[in-house]
Amino acid sequence: MSLLFSPARIGTLQLSNRLVMTPMHLGYSPDGEVTERLIEYYRSRARGGVGLIIVGGCGIDKIGNAFGMTQLDDDRYIPGLRQLVDAVHEEGAKIVPQLYQAGRYAHSAHTGQPSVAPSPIPSRLTGQVPQELSQEKISEIIASYVSAAKRAQKAGFDGVEILASAGYLISQFLSPLTNQRTDRYGGDLQARMTFGLEVVDAVRSAVGPDYPIIVRVAGNDFMPGSHTNTESRAFCQALEKAGVNALNVTGGWHETPVPQLTMNVPPGAFAYLASGIKHAVSIPVIACNRINTPELAERILQEGKADFIGMARQLMADPDLPKKAMQGRTETIRPCIGCNQGCLDNVFRLKPVACLVNAEAGREAELGGLIPTSSPQKLLVIGAGAAGLEYARVSSLRGHHVTVWEETREPGGQLSLAAAPPGRKDFLYLGKYLETVCLQQGVRITYDVKATPEKIMEEINKGTFDKVIIATGSCPISPSIPNRGNMKILQAWDVLAGVETSGQNIIIVGGGAVGVETALYLAEARTLDSETLRFLMLQHAESDKELYHLLTQSNRKITILEMAKGIGRDIGPSTRWSMLADLKRYGVKALDQTKVLEITADGVIAESAGIQNLIPADTVIFAVGSRSQNELYLALKGKIENLKLIGDAVNPRKALDAIHNAYEEARTE
């Protein structure tokens, strides 16, 4: 019997299963009002079978909110909130809002006023210095939490969650890094807990003894000098005493140097934080962060590490995960790959969130699902990359008969290159998912087939196909740099595809995403493997310093040379910082504003700030971009009436844009 899909309670709240959709900033409420977009987004997640949805954050006031956030600071929002609650209830799930106050993480450009915090410590996230809260202002903010909770109750929500993690206001009071007060809110841990506990007490008094209250806590701040799981356990015990009904355990602040949500975070890596809290309290504990499969969720529950499992991005990627898992169809679950390209990166850009793998996410109200075709056609898709397979998936769902021809022996196209660097293998899961659902839907995929114009014309003339879709992707380009010494030159794509490079002194020309990924791939290749690391650690065979050295240093010298300003500029902001940190860890030298003039037998001659230098190398790798691979399309153009070009074959683009383009093309034809 699955624990994940067994009923459970949070206080008085009866839930049909133990899967919780944890809050995620969406940006779907531009004026603070609940929108149809927000309602349909959550309705489809509720319909998919999740037990509890936590909406948020929801602003309790104006001074601590963020762009596009649903608001709870005025009664005028109640009718919209009630519609949201009703929609989720109609589908059988429960719903609570997260009460949000960002403190020093609020930006004056959005709120129109300086942010507030326990102490005037500058925020690395906003670059601003908050104003220190007076006692009077603290009381006002507590009153705002109370009013927001009462509005939630009035709108029919099944409880509330209070946000006390991630470096937001309550977290700022808890941490000695951001709370340097000398009044009763500052000092030792007990004093620093005062504000959070006063918020909980005030909300509890306002909503009554039976109304469920969840608090989201950091199981570890992952900030040097701030709280670890030990201090967090003490806070959670105090919260339990104060009448909190469940604890939602995450980790880290927005400023933490330890990645929380990027692809290189191993799935379930932070479940130990929830486990630490669970052993200190007797109320239910929710584990979250990169728990992205029902199997992993079940294991965490079975191992007694948590009572509930939180998923956010995974349910954005596939709202039907619960139903599919309950029906034993886990292989058809669309995986969240932790890329952040559509979700977190859009938050940083102050745009409503989207999802790389799910073009419908956040557009449920606008799209209203796929419409079956009234005239099924026989389609031939050339290329089983992300765009080709997404086109095939959507077309076959709509009732077309689809065949895919792929030149290589595996699905995914460039996804397999993207998956090569350390911590990026989730890209492979997307190719596998697309192949699996296509095959289940009756798409015929043939690998290892060379699609020539003659072969396609022959099939068209025989009437095998009505329409041909060219999804042949792109290919790398080479810069016109003279190679005067027969230096060994490789393409980054070939290196990532597994072409061996024996080079010891490598120069990568091009510092965009592909250049950075290639450098990390090569740098990691000769370092300590995880099995040996585990062995050495358990045996205390080496010092921490030596192990770190063995993990990060190979016997290779790698240099990236980039002509423009900045390295990895085309990597999304939520991931770029951690990849640049990895470059440093692995000792990769990255020089921007450096132009390669010539390649010689001994290295490359590069110019920076008007000065030319020979940089020694035994191997040069090009990572300077790509071009559309559209020769097949051009050869067939004018010969086939129904011919279409999609994805990178039109223009090289990001995986998100390729998949969304394929979805758009297939949903209307």
Contacts to ligand SF4 by CB under 6 A: 313, 316-317, 336-343, 355-357
Contact between 470 and 492 under an 8 Å Cβ cutoff? The reply is: no
* CB 358 to ligand SF4: min, Å: 6
Mapping DSSP to helix (H, G, I), strand (E, B) and coil, where does residue 160 land? strand
Dihedral over Cα of 249, 250, 251, 256: its sign: negative
* CB 267 to ligand SF4: min, Å: 12
Helix axes 386-397, 655-668, angle to 10 degrees: 30
Mapping DSSP to helix (H, G, I), strand (E, B) and coil, where does residue 158 land? coil
Angle at 200 between CA 196 and CA 204, to 5 degrees: 170
User: Judged by CB, which is closer to ligand SF4: 423, or 503?
Assistant: 423
* CB 336 to ligand SF4: min, Å: 3
* Whole-Å CA distances, 437 to 134, 394, 432, 449: 58, 10, 9, 21
In 250-330, alpha helices (H): 271-278, 294-302, 313-317, 321-326
User: Judged by CB, which is closer to ligand SF4: 97, or 342?
Assistant: 342
* CB 462 to ligand SF4: min, Å: 40
d(C-alpha 564, C-alpha 618), whole Å: 24
Angular region, 428: left φ>0, alpha ψ -120 to 50, beta rest? alpha
Determine phi and psi for 584, rounding to 5 degrees: -65, -45
Contact between 199 and 170 under an 8 Å Cβ cutoff? The reply is: yes
* CB 590 to ligand SF4: min, Å: 25
**Element (DSSP H or E) covering residue 224:** none
* CB 658 to ligand SF4: min, Å: 13
* CB 312 to ligand SF4: min, Å: 8
Q: Who's near 668: CB < 8 A, 6+ residues apart?
A: none
Dihedral over Cα of 232, 238, 241, 242: its sign: negative
User: Judged by CB, which is closer to ligand SF4: 313, or 644?
Assistant: 313
* CB 317 to ligand SF4: min, Å: 5
User: Judged by CB, which is closer to ligand SF4: 338, or 476?
Assistant: 338
d(C-alpha 208, C-alpha 363), whole Å: 37
* CB 338 to ligand SF4: min, Å: 5
Contact between 516 and 567 under an 8 Å Cβ cutoff? The reply is: yes
User: Judged by CB, which is closer to ligand SF4: 345, or 524?
Assistant: 345
* Whole-Å CA distances, 160 to 212, 246, 415, 608: 7, 11, 40, 57
User: Judged by CB, which is closer to ligand SF4: 349, or 637?
Assistant: 349
**Element (DSSP H or E) covering residue 591:** strand 589-591
User: Judged by CB, which is closer to ligand SF4: 170, or 317?
Assistant: 317
User: Judged by CB, which is closer to ligand SF4: 357, or 624?
Assistant: 357
* CB 415 to ligand SF4: min, Å: 12
* CB 355 to ligand SF4: min, Å: 3
User: Judged by CB, which is closer to ligand SF4: 342, or 413?
Assistant: 342
User: Judged by CB, which is closer to ligand SF4: 21, or 337?
Assistant: 337
At position 208, the amino acid (one-letter code) is G
- 94 - beta bridge partners? 52
User: Judged by CB, which is closer to ligand SF4: 244, or 357?
Assistant: 357
d(C-alpha 526, C-alpha 529), whole Å: 9
Contact between 49 and 43 under an 8 Å Cβ cutoff? The reply is: no
